[in-house]
Structure 1
């Protein structure tokens, strides 16, 4: 073990120690609904031109930069409109910062461009957007998307059985683990479902009523909770997205007399449920718990004062004390006047990992990118906490496995299933505000 390896291991230990001491759990959800109202980003017009990057002709690109270098265009499907647009807006901001960081250094002597499409927060919109990018523009790598069900639909309908690399910037559904060709930046939701199960049991609750959104996200998290929970599940039913009322769900949960209620749904749906529970006078009937998708300032704004006090939620987090994350926060605040969420950090890292794969690959094709995209994130390599550091290793002749990109969201370490390592933070509502109640590394 050389001195640089010692420093790399120490750096990773510091990050993990910081996580144990306390992480920033940043509201939002992959596959969830918006944490706050948001505009629809840049309308899906894209900030890079269309290209033929997936045509398979070696160093194929789609144009030249002003300085004469090649432009390497990848695709991005994001939720720029619809119920997930708040996450899309944060993704856009993380993407913008990452793209500037990449192009300040360059990719194979050229530039990275991102051709973008709006999925409208729906599976149908996602498939249509991906078809435009993959089938018409020929991108070899696709970042997309927010909702787990939408990401899955894109993979199954467009990406599967092709060489195109797909990296989801926000999806957490455990079911994505069964699709090794679909990579992602945030940790699997199975970890949060297991954490919720443990919290419910540790808090002494022997029975649970669970309501889950009727899609891949809700179903897979619900299944993971059931598999982990030792108590009795007395209500375990789905509900549809976007309904005007969920009083039937709340009434059914109340009729069970369960010790705890678990909500695996999206923020707009949960906000409606919490209001109707208050109207029905049943908010104190059971202890409330939720996944990442139910936490957000708009939820508290919609709920009557104090009605959610005591509720606990588990969300993905980032190591707040890591130097590269702090630099990201500073840049984000300087540009946009607010702190980033973990979801914008994941979007940032999706762009950087994509650029590193392009730099490391022998050619700009999906097959070549797929061979190296995991390698540039794994701990066997030399740790690099920025695109510039990782690029230097590759530019000086290093192989993909010589690089361990540790992102602003923390260590990534993509495994054979396309899943990263990750951190989770527990929040509890106290005096109608979220307070940190512990951390989990998984």
Structure 2
């Protein structure tokens, strides 16, 4: 993975040279409170029951196409899930301004709640596929939820699944499961190099699921020093004092938290009460970037914490357009996670536009092709659909995502753009970009 061009080594001073522009900070997955509020996206959006029309060929006189989405609207991942709904809504608006096929059919999305758990995610996916009859659905936030839905519902069912947020390296081993957010492998390697610049001993605690397992394994395999503590913790606990005590009993000078917002909030508060935050340096990944964490922890309790998160390239023109539209609509800056969802909906719509018929098998044949780098670059649905309607094949189109490149490889993974963050005066600040 390339970093800043200094022989592959991340220069600490360069990485922490903060950009100062508000747009850059807005791209790094930081949760805005406004994105987690309201009731948008709850229940079923734009219709839920599938009709016989959904099996017709695209462009065949059909008035609408319904696909599905499984999002974390409740549970421990809700701070990450609810922000996706705005990205979804903006994508639908852009697509439906143009329409799908020669008859300008609309795209509709039936949304179900994963409740941030594997079991509920599987039930949600089953409802979409078996009751609504969708041939494609977007989902989910949690990597373990995405894999469980694929194993229990998607695999062998002739259905396309595109995760909007799952980053675990474990998804790379499930090539039939596509995603618009990049694999955490490059992020884990970057974290290992970043921390090794100042520390030779680190204690790691990771959430006990596919996300935590995959990312912690990459980190441990890459870190050049000693990982003196490397243990999981369960979600949803009221206290993690035992884990923190064990970490404090090591000689690690750095602690790495690979966990979610709710769990990090509990750990940060308990660490602050024990004074651990003044004894070691804290590090995290994208899942410890959430305004909810800062809002529910004391001032100064996380100052100095650093990490690496997924990011959209803030200088990219189509992202700027997306961010401008987002801010005009919601009076807030978008997160990269909203951008990932925006791109997932666009890829689904382009697959519908390109496929011979509205079936999972037909969509699966073209869904990767519309993102291929060999095709002509298209920065909007209108541009890409126009190429297809002018006689172009799916592989003639290279959709350029607002979240960055979305060239889906043979494993269903896109490339990734990452960014260094730190907590200063109880606020997130952002610095250097890293491209995988």
TM (norm. structure 2) is 0.90
**Residue 219 (str. 1) matches residue 213 (str. 2):** yes
Q: Distance in 2 between matches of 1:261 and 1:373?
A: 41
CA contact (8 A) 1:381 1:403 kept: yes
Residue 24 (structure 1) shift: 4.5
Over 3 Å counting, the alpha-carbon distance change for 1:40 and 1:157 in structure 2 is: farther
Q: Distance in 1 between matches of 2:18 and 2:303?
A: 25
Over 3 Å counting, the alpha-carbon distance change for 1:53 and 1:95 in structure 2 is: farther
Q: Which residue of 2 aligns with 1:337?
A: 331
CA contact (8 A) 1:207 1:259 kept: yes
Q: Which residue of 2 aligns with 1:151?
A: 146
Over 3 Å counting, the alpha-carbon distance change for 1:21 and 1:351 in structure 2 is: farther
Number of residue pairs the alignment of both structures matches: 414
Q: Distance in 1 between matches of 2:357 and 2:285?
A: 41
Q: Which residue of 2 aligns with 1:16?
A: none
Q: 1:405 aligns with which of 396, 399, 412?
A: 399
**Residue 347 (str. 1) matches residue 341 (str. 2):** yes
Q: 1:187 aligns with which of 165, 182, 187?
A: 182
Q: 1:200 aligns with which of 166, 184, 195?
A: 195
SS at match of 1:315: strand
**Residue 133 (str. 1) matches residue 128 (str. 2):** yes
Q: Distance in 2 between matches of 1:74 and 1:428?
A: 38
Q: Distance in 2 between matches of 1:395 and 1:53?
A: 24
Residue 39 (structure 1) shift: 4.3
Residue 88 (structure 1) shift: 2.5
User: CA-atom RMSD, angstroms?
Assistant: 2.4
CA contact (8 A) 2:65 2:106 kept: yes
Q: Distance in 2 between matches of 1:35 and 1:188?
A: 27
Residue 298 (structure 1) shift: 2.2
Q: Distance in 1 between matches of 2:435 and 2:36?
A: 30
Q: Distance in 1 between matches of 2:232 and 2:34?
A: 22
CA contact (8 A) 2:79 2:261 kept: no
Q: Which residue of 1 aligns with 2:4?
A: none
Question: Which 4+ stretches in 1 moved above 3 angstroms?
Answer: 20-29, 34-42, 52-55
Q: 1:326 aligns with which of 320, 330, 333?
A: 320
CA contact (8 A) 2:58 2:356 kept: no
Q: Which residue of 2 aligns with 1:383?
A: 377
Over 3 Å counting, the alpha-carbon distance change for 1:261 and 1:50 in structure 2 is: same
Output one character per residue of 1:365-404: Cα deviation in whole Å (capped at 9) or x when no partner. Answer: 1111111111101110000000000010001010000000
Output one character per residue of 1:238-257: Cα deviation in whole Å (capped at 9) or x when no partner. Answer: 11111111111111100002
Q: Distance in 1 between matches of 2:345 and 2:132?
A: 18
Q: Which residue of 1 aligns with 2:287?
A: 293
Q: 2:114 aligns with which of 115, 119, 125?
A: 119
Q: Distance in 2 between matches of 1:175 and 1:426?
A: 23
Residue 160 (structure 1) shift: 1.0
Residue 69 (structure 1) shift: 3.9
Q: 2:155 aligns with which of 154, 160, 164?
A: 160
SS at match of 1:243: coil
Q: 1:59 aligns with which of 57, 60, 84?
A: 57
Structure 1 residues without counterparts, runs of 5 or longer: 1-19
Residue 36 (structure 1) shift: 7.6
Q: Which residue of 1 aligns with 2:9?
A: none
Output one character per residue of 1:62-117: Cα deviation in whole Å (capped at 9) or x when no partner. Answer: xx9xxx64311111111122222232222111111111111111111222111121
**Residue 234 (str. 1) matches residue 219 (str. 2):** no
Residue 147 (structure 1) shift: 1.0
Residue 433 (structure 1) shift: 2.2
Q: Which residue of 2 aligns with 1:50?
A: 49
Residue 27 (structure 1) shift: 5.0
**Residue 310 (str. 1) matches residue 304 (str. 2):** yes
Residue 407 (structure 1) shift: 1.1
